[in-house]
Homo-oligomer: A and B are copies of this chain.
Amino acid sequence: ADIVVLPGDGIGPEVTAAAVAVLREIARVHGHRFDLHEHAIGGTAIDACGEPLPATTLAACRAADAVLLGAVGGPKWSDPNAKVRPEQGLLTLRKGLGLYANLRPVQPHAATLGAAPIKPHLLAGVDLVVVRELTGGIYFGDKTRDGDGASDLCAYSVAEIERVVRRACTLARSRRRHVTSVDKANVLETSRLWRDVATRVAREEFPDVVLEHQLVDSMAMHLLAKPRAFDVVVTENMFGDILTDEASMLAGSMGLLPSASLGEGRAGLYEPIHGSAPDIAGRGIANPVGAILSAALLLRHSLGLEEEAVRVERAASDALDAGVFTADLSPYRAATTAEMTAAVID
């Protein structure tokens, strides 16, 4: 299998190195051959080539079976008014590969509940996946700016909503058959359309799945007050961005959480949900678990290697059970990235 690795910026190279080590170990033990190719993206690519997504990188990703990404961005390139910004690389890549469904599972681990700001009794049994629409909405609408003001257009087509709702409902069939669709239908026209389309798709194509609707403001509350109530949550790009960062607090640390971005085919983009964390970059202390679990999702969704995926997930879980914690999880027993990775590989 042909896998492109995009280390990116900040702690990106450190955590992708950990995930690559795990992939190599899986290949060795299970007798697979993974061809791994590194390419530039983000600020690193701006420095090297003057653009955040060089054509060679995009072409390599298009040709690959899967892409593993670290993180992009950092203070060096952070002037929001700069002509080129690292984040553009990531947005263009998502759009260019047609990866419209971003899956972000949140399953708090017993060993790390202590690190979560939420009371532990609310977290036992939480197991949800947010399916975030990733190539539409206000992220990609027309933008204007002049001396008096600025604007961003949020637009959704029926087809864009249909395909991501279908993906969420299909996922729900392999889980508890419950989908919560999040919108702001009492204010936004795109949300009223979203609600109509979600309702129709669920009724016509997924009569066996229960669909409920939540307004985004209520959802921001219920996610904390009753996180066990959710199975699959589907929402548009901007709401998904906010709600998944909020939901990461259920798990104790963003550093633990993986994501998979999928389109029509099997190829996909896998990245931890954390950012480039410039404050700790280069110190070898970043939590590699989010990246390692992203590699597990890669094995599952793009390579069809379910057994290997489960093996990686168990290994990460065992390492946490054994009390191997990076600094984000516990300031007292702070394992390094390398120690945490070694514990998973063992």
Instruction: Spell out A's residues near B (CB within 8 Å).
Output: 73, 80-81, 85, 87, 91, 117-119, 122, 138-139, 141, 143-145, 147-158, 160, 184-193, 195-196, 216-218, 220-221, 224-225, 238-239, 241-246, 248-249, 254, 275
Neighbour of A216 across the interface among B117, B216, B242, CB < 8 A = B242
Contact, CB under 8 Å: A189 / B220: no
Query: Which of chain B's residues have a CB closer than 8 A to the CB of A117?
Result: 118-119, 122, 224-225
Contact, CB under 8 Å: B246 / A196: no
Instruction: Sample 17 A-B pairs with CB under 8 A, ordered by A number.
Output: A80-B195, A118-B119, A118-B224, A138-B188, A139-B187, A143-B189, A145-B192, A150-B155, A151-B153, A151-B154, A151-B156, A217-B242, A217-B244, A220-B242, A221-B248, A225-B249, A242-B242
Contact, CB under 8 Å: A245 / B220: yes
Neighbour of A193 across the interface among B149, B193, B195, CB < 8 A = B149
Contact, CB under 8 Å: A245 / B218: yes
Say how many copies of this protein the assembly contains.
2
Contact, CB under 8 Å: B155 / A149: yes
Query: Which of chain B's residues have a CB closer than 8 A to the CB of A217?
Result: 241-242, 244-245
Contact, CB under 8 Å: A145 / B193: yes
Neighbour of A186 across the interface among B80, B246, B249, B254, CB < 8 A = B80
Contact, CB under 8 Å: A138 / B154: yes
Contact, CB under 8 Å: B245 / A186: no
Query: Which of chain B's residues have a CB closer than 8 A to the CB of A193?
Result: 145, 149-150
Contact, CB under 8 Å: A186 / B242: no
Contact, CB under 8 Å: A150 / B156: yes
Contact, CB under 8 Å: B225 / A150: no
Query: Which of chain B's residues have a CB closer than 8 A to the CB of A156?
Result: 149-151
Query: Which of chain B's residues have a CB closer than 8 A to the CB of A152?
Result: 153-154, 188-190
**Given the complex of chains A and B, what is the CA–CA distance between A148 and B153 in angstroms?**
16
Query: Which of chain B's residues have a CB closer than 8 A to the CB of A220?
Result: 220, 242-243, 245-246
**Given the complex of chains A and B, what is the CA–CA distance between A248 and B138 in angstroms?**
26
Q: Which residue of B lies closest to A213 (CB)?
A: B80
**Given the complex of chains A and B, what is the CA–CA distance between A216 and B85 in angstroms?**
18
The 9 tightest CB contacts between A and B, nearest first, are: A149-B157, A143-B189, A80-B185, A150-B193, A220-B246, A151-B155, A217-B245, A150-B189, A87-B186
Neighbour of A245 across the interface among B145, B221, B245, CB < 8 A = B221
Query: Which of chain B's residues have a CB closer than 8 A to the CB of A158?
Result: 147-149
**Given the complex of chains A and B, what is the CA–CA distance between A198 and B91 in angstroms?**
26
Query: Which of chain B's residues have a CB closer than 8 A to the CB of A238?
Result: 184
**Given the complex of chains A and B, what is the CA–CA distance between A216 and B239 in angstroms?**
10
From A150, A217, A221, residue with most partner B Cβ within 10 Å:
A150
Q: Which residue of B lies closest to A86 (CB)?
A: B186
**Given the complex of chains A and B, what is the CA–CA distance between A277 and B317 in angstroms?**
41
Q: Which residue of B lies closest to A194 (CB)?
A: B150
Query: Which of chain B's residues have a CB closer than 8 A to the CB of A184?
Result: 238, 241
